Amino acid sequence: MQMVTWPNGSLVPALGQGTWKMGEDRGRRQGEIAALRAGLDEGLSLIDTAEMYGEGAAEEVVAEAMAGRRDEVFLVSKVYPHNASPTRLPQALARSLKRLKTDVLDCYLLHWRGAVPLADTAATMERMREAGHIRSWGVSNLDVDDMEALDRPDCATNQVLLNLAERGPEFELQPWMQARSMPLMAYSPLGQGPLLLHPALVGVARRLGATPAQVALAWCLSRPGVVAIPKTGDAARVRQNAAARQLQLSAEDHAGLDAAFPPPRRKRPLAML
């Protein structure tokens, strides 16, 4: 299984699981729990969630999926920017830990940059790490100028939008992070679904006897230091996505994908959802 070394020495799988939209519909809840568990069975043991997702409901789904299996999981959650101050962050973290039925997160991320000074958030994150409530911390949706303003070598990761149709980070941010051995968490690696209908992607998938989702994920996995976190509430799709780890894209496949989804030639503002 392809692994990525986390800055604190942990080994995390390059393919994990997202949870946005989980917990919002009671009728889907059992399917979502089953999907996350199927993912754990497949070794997709990094689970990404956030206090924002379903206003805590996704974290509760994750808690059920992790029941009896916490030790298998590299658990990531995120704090709202308006909760990222020295007084509010510890309270938001305590609420997340309670919903997740655990006493420690493997990584806690600032969801995006808001009004709280980055230095205050970073110092509070570090305080939470020293107190043993989190094992590492990072950020999300920060471009290079924000990362330089943050100026913290102890920031473990930056989670950003990266998929075949959103390749902007390849120009500057990804090399910047790679130079610092900082893993990049690629969110929405399936482009939230519509990307999977693109004729070029469908064509490559057909040639390889794979699905478009598997090709989109194999493309992410071909990038060094990248952890992709696709979301699905369907156990069969989890298994399908997990099999992307066995798919090797050839130089010809990459050339075909580059023609349809050209890599960036200049700096563009970081896209986010």
Ligand X SMILES: NC(=O)c1ccc[n+]([C@@H]2O[C@H](COP(=O)([O-])OP(=O)(O)OC[C@H]3O[C@@H](n4cnc5c(N)ncnc54)[C@H](OP(=O)(O)O)[C@@H]3O)[C@@H](O)[C@H]2O)c1
Q: So which residues are the catalytic ones?
A: 53
Looking up tokens 């509010």 gives: 88
Does 159 interact with ligand X (rule: CB under 6 A)? yes
Of 166, 189, 247, 270, the one binding ligand X (CB under 6 A) is: 189
Of 13, 36, 48, 158, the one binding ligand X (CB under 6 A) is: 48
145-150 contacts, C-beta under 8 A, 24 or more apart: 146/113, 146/118, 147/173, 147/176, 147/177, 149/118, 150/118, 150/119, 150/122
Rounded least distance, CB 21 to ligand X, Å = 7
Does 155 interact with ligand X (rule: CB under 6 A)? no
Quote the CA–CA distance of 213 and 52 in Å, as a whole number. 26
Of 221, 237, 247, 261, the one binding ligand X (CB under 6 A) is: 237
Does 121 interact with ligand X (rule: CB under 6 A)? no
Name the 3-class secondary structure at 166.
Answer: strand
User: Could you write out the DSSP letters of every residue in 80-92?
Assistant: -GGG-STTHHHHH
Rounded least distance, CB 139 to ligand X, Å = 9
Quote the CA–CA distance of 260 and 258 in Å, as a whole number. 5
Name the 3-class secondary structure at 38.
Answer: helix
Does 193 interact with ligand X (rule: CB under 6 A)? yes
Q: Token pair of 127, please? A: 């305080």
Does 59 interact with ligand X (rule: CB under 6 A)? no
Stretch that binds ligand X, among 85-93, 115-123, 175-183, 226-234 (CB under 6 A): 226-234
Does 108 interact with ligand X (rule: CB under 6 A)? no
Residue 19 · residue 100 · CB < 8 Å: no
Rounded least distance, CB 187 to ligand X, Å = 3
Does 54 interact with ligand X (rule: CB under 6 A)? no
Of 44, 57, 213, 220, the one binding ligand X (CB under 6 A) is: 213
The strand pair at 137-140 and 158-161 is best described as parallel
Contacting residues for 258 by C-beta, under 8 A, at least 6 apart: none
Rounded least distance, CB 124 to ligand X, Å = 19
Identify which of residues 169 and 230 has a Cβ nearer to ligand X in the complex: 230
Does 251 interact with ligand X (rule: CB under 6 A)? no
Does 273 interact with ligand X (rule: CB under 6 A)? yes
Identify which of residues 80 and 131 has a Cβ nearer to ligand X in the complex: 80
User: Could you write out the DSSP letters of every residue in 202-271?
Assistant: HHHHHHHT--HHHHHHHHHHTSTTEEE----S-HHHHHHHHGGGGPPPPHHHHHHHHHHSPPPSS--PPP
Residue 64 · residue 35 · CB < 8 Å: no
Of 196, 201, 220, 270, the one binding ligand X (CB under 6 A) is: 196
Phi, psi at residue 147, to the nearest 5°?
Answer: -65, -40
Does 229 interact with ligand X (rule: CB under 6 A)? yes
Does 222 interact with ligand X (rule: CB under 6 A)? no
Rounded least distance, CB 14 to ligand X, Å = 14
**Residues making contact with ligand X (CB under 6 A):** 18-20, 48, 111, 140-141, 159, 187-193, 196, 211, 213, 229-234, 237, 240-241, 273
